[in-house]
Amino acid sequence: MPSKASVWYYFRERTYEDIKANYEAGIKISEGAAMMTGTTVKHQILGTAWPGHFNKPLAEAMYANIKKVGMPVWDDKDMALARGVQTLVEAPKKDNSGKPIDGLRTAIDTIKGSVPFSWGGGSDDIADISWNLPTIVLRYPANIPGTKGHHWADAIAMATPIAHKGSLAGAEATAMTLLDLFTKPSLLAEAKSYYTNVQTKDVKYIPFITEKDPPAIHLNKEIQNTYRPLLEKYYYDPTKYGTYLEQLGITYPTLPVKQ
């Protein structure tokens, strides 16, 4: 029987109050277990994320710029790779909104209002930032639709023109929105007004992490020390190669073959 043991829990809910209630219940359970076994227990918060609330005026301004930039111009090679990957991973025929999944998207989606019921999303501390100042998040077309998150196929596009074209479009929309904020005082005032009078009118941000919680910089330290040197040979060298695919010796598109 080891003298010490550790366990990691992830408490996930839709509101701060529910997350906090789950966390406090976990603390009580661990303390009860310690009492039953005649042992002691200590707790450490490794990371937290509030549910996000993003800024409507900024989102509307960003959407106007997205329409000005337009979608990337995909060529036959881009479409061929996307459809090949979708066939390989048996991607669904339609996305969650009912739109067909066939190659790469060519039309800009419509702007939507607030979501009354969310099925969840990524756990990201950008949500905590959104409760401290007006914030928005841009999703840009730099990946192949229909792949599964946290799956190797979801990373295929990263070294291809698909990601390059999509990232450029996203960067243009972001830069144009920043220029709007610098040159249009009314937009900045609207964003601040929404943050003060709508978003934080009834909900006040209370961080989970306190000054007593040290940053969890020890996580994955051994793994990183092992693999970081092995990854160096895969770093892109723009002084020798025009593209990363050229450095890897891959002809674009190299289409997957389903076994």
Query: What are the pLDDT digits (tens) for 148-164?
Result: 888 999 999 999 999 99
Element at 27 (helix H, strand E): helix 16-37
Tens-digit pLDDT profile for residues 170-218: 999 999 999 999 999 999 999 999 999 999 999 999 999 888 888 888 8
Mean pLDDT of 89-102: 92
Q: Check residue 80 and give its pLDDT.
A: 96
Q: Check residue 259 and give its pLDDT.
A: 58
In sequence order, which residues have a C-beta less than 8 Å from that of residue 70 and are 6 or more positions away?
108, 169
Percent of the chain with pLDDT over 70: 95
In sequence order, which residues have a C-beta less than 8 Å from that of residue 111 and are 6 or more positions away?
59, 60, 63
Question: Average per-residue pLDDT in the chain?
Answer: 93
Count CB neighbours of 87 within 10 A.
14
Higher pLDDT, residue 101 or 113? 101
Tens-digit pLDDT profile for residues 40-92: 999 999 999 898 899 999 999 999 999 999 999 999 999 999 999 999 999 99
Phi, psi of 64 (to 5 degrees): -60, -40
Higher pLDDT, residue 212 or 115? 212
Q: Check residue 217 and give its pLDDT.
A: 87
Mean pLDDT of 29-45: 95
Tokens of 68: 């000005």
Using CB atoms within 10 Å of the CB of residue 140, give its burial: 0 to 12 exposed, 13 to 18 middle, 19+ buried. buried
On whether the CB atoms of residues 121 and 114 are closer than 8 A, the answer is no
In the chain, where the domains are located:
56-206+240-248
pTM across the whole model: 0.88
Report the DSSP beta bridge partners of residue 94: 100
